Amino acid sequence: DIQMTQSPSSLYASVGDRVTITCRASQNINSHLNWYQQTQGKVPKLLIYGASTLQSGVPSRFAARGYGTYFTLIITSLQPEDFATYYCQQSSPSPRVVTFGGGTKVEI
């Protein structure tokens, strides 16, 4: 099974900061990597799919890149509504066995 490791597990930041979260896969997953945001008490929301494609409606301050086993999510200028937990997810097409990273909590 593919394991996903996120770092850091938590971080403190201020409004306007640039934030970078990393995600490593235990084996090559090409670009089959998604990012989700979950705010407290809410359902996860898709931010990025295919390692770097912004989901419709997601602000452009979110960006992501990576390929193979190393991926990053970047928030260029943190906004108050961005304080949340972020999860990476490997989403290989076959088999459709999905794995989430452990999450990164972005706190004030």
Partner 1 sequence: QVQLVQSAGTVVQPGGSLTLPCAASGFTVNTFGMHWVRQAPGKGLEWVAFIQFDKSVKHYVDSVKGRFVVSRDDSSNTLFLEMKSLIPEDTAIYFCVRDNKKTVGSTSYFYMDVWGKGTSVTVSS
Q: What's the closest the beta carbon of residue 100 comes to partner 1, in angstroms?
A: 4
Residues whose CB is less than 8 angstroms from the CB of residue 96 and which lie 6 or more positions away in sequence, other chains included:
none
55 binds partner 1 (CB under 8 A): yes
Q: Which of residues 3-22 bind partner 1 (CB under 8 A)?
A: none
44 binds partner 1 (CB under 8 A): yes
100 binds partner 1 (CB under 8 A): yes
Q: Please select the residue that binds partner 1; options are 43, 57, 80, 108, rule is CB under 8 A.
A: 43
The footprint of partner 1 on this chain (CB under 8 A) covers a number of residues equal to: 28
Which H or E run contains 74?
strand 70-75
| DSSP summary character for residue 50 | T
Q: Report the side by side order of strands in the sheet with 19-25.
A: 4-7, 19-25, 70-75, 62-67
What is the C-alpha separation between 18 and 74, in angstroms, rounded? 7
Q: Please select the residue that binds partner 1; options are 14, 57, 96, 108, rule is CB under 8 A.
A: 96
Query: Two tokens at 32?
Result: 């089959």
What is the C-alpha separation between 103 and 82, in angstroms, rounded? 14
34 binds partner 1 (CB under 8 A): yes
The contact set with partner 1 (CB under 8 A) reads 1, 30-32, 34, 36, 38, 43-44, 46, 49-50, 53, 55, 85, 87, 89, 91, 93, 95-103
